[in-house]
């Protein structure tokens, strides 16, 4: 059977794209465009069904993932496991102190109750298992520090105005040290939210 020319062209383009993604995945450094392609095609886990939110820092995700792939794979496998939504609230070890998870279930907060925060030791992977909540994020340089960073709680507090998202099952969120974020804000009609937060150890660029 004769293969139409357009089919051959499409096949060659697809092979070239996959080869490019594979080449990118062999290093912990990538351009913004290459990292964004890697995120768009979910290069971190072929066949993985849950997307990350659109505004994730693609280069940071790319670099952190490839520098510590085994730990990230364990975190993402825990997230993807269909049994995770059935787990009781509590803490769950995944990879020692490098990756661990917390599941909570309860009422969200009002805007006045919710606070802006950032972390240095750990990356936040946040995912709503059941219900909806508002999550907001802003670059750290656009936020004003209220309480300076404390290592014991791995957190600093801020005031800020950022971009708001409605977090629901189907999309996960990643917040790196430069991402000041305000999670757990109540959405009308969703009084109780079940949520997963996976803490993934952050490694500074000098250690990658």
Using pLDDT thresholds of 50, 70 and 90, give the confidence band for residue 171.
very high
| Domain count within the chain | 1
Q: Which residue has the tokens 């309480």?
A: 147
Question: Do the domain assignments include residue 10?
Answer: no
Report if residue 18 sits inside a domain: no
Q: Is 140 helix (H, G, I), strand (E, B) or coil?
A: helix
- 178-197: average pLDDT: 97
CB atoms within 10 A of CB 103: 19
User: Please, are residues 61 and 174 in contact by the beta-carbon 8 Å criterion?
Assistant: yes
pLDDT, position 181: 98
Q: What is the pLDDT of residue 23?
A: 42
Tokens (6 digits) for 11: 């096949």
Q: Within a domain: residue 131?
A: yes
What CATH number is associated with residue 59? 2.60.120.370
Domain enclosing residue 54, as ranges:
48-207
Encoding tokens for residue 202? 């952050």
Q: What is the pTM of this model?
A: 0.84
How far apart (Å, rounded) are the C-alpha atoms in residues 39 and 15? 18
Longest dimension (CA), the chain: 70
Would residue 156 count as lying in a domain? Answer: yes
Where does the chain have alpha helices with state H?
A: 5-24, 32-40, 58-67, 69-80
Mean pLDDT to the nearest integer, 118-125: 98
Helix (H, G, I), strand (E, B) or coil at 123: strand
Determine the Cα–Cα distance for residues 206 and 196; give it in Å rounded to an integer: 30
Residue 163 belongs to some domain of the structure: yes
Q: What is the pLDDT of residue 46?
A: 60
Asked whether residue 15 is domain-assigned, the answer is: no
User: Looking at the domain assignment, is residue 26 inside a domain?
Assistant: no
Asked if residue 170 is part of any domain, the answer here is: yes
pLDDT at 14 over 50: no
Q: Which residue, chain included where needed, has tokens 């066949």?
A: 47
């Amino acid at each position: 059977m004769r293969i139409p020319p357009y089919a051959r062209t499409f096949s060659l383009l697809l092979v070239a794209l996959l080869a490019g993604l594979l080449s990118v995945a062999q290093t912990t450094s990538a351009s913004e465009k290459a990292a964004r392609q890697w995120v768009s095609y979910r290069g971190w886990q072929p066949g993985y069904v849950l997307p990350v939110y659109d505004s994730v820092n693609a280069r940071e995700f790319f670099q952190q993932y490839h520098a510590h792939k085994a730990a990230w794979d364990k975190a993402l496998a825990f997230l993807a496991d269909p049994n995770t939504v059935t787990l009781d609230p509590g803490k769950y070890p995944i990879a020692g102190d490098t990756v661990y998870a917390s599941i909570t279930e309860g009422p969200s907060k009002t805007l006045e109750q919710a606070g802006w925060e950032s972390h240095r030791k750990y990356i936040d992977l946040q995912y709503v298992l059941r219900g909806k909540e508002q999550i907001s994020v802003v670059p750290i340089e656009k936020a004003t520090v209220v309480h300076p960073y404390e290592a014991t709680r791995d957190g600093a507090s801020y005031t800020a105005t950022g971009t708001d998202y409605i977090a629901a099952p189907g999309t996960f969120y990643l917040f790196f040290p430069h991402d000041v974020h305000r999670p757990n804000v109540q959405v009308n009609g969703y009084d109780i939210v079940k949520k997963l937060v996976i803490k993934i150890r952050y490694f500074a660029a000098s250690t990658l």
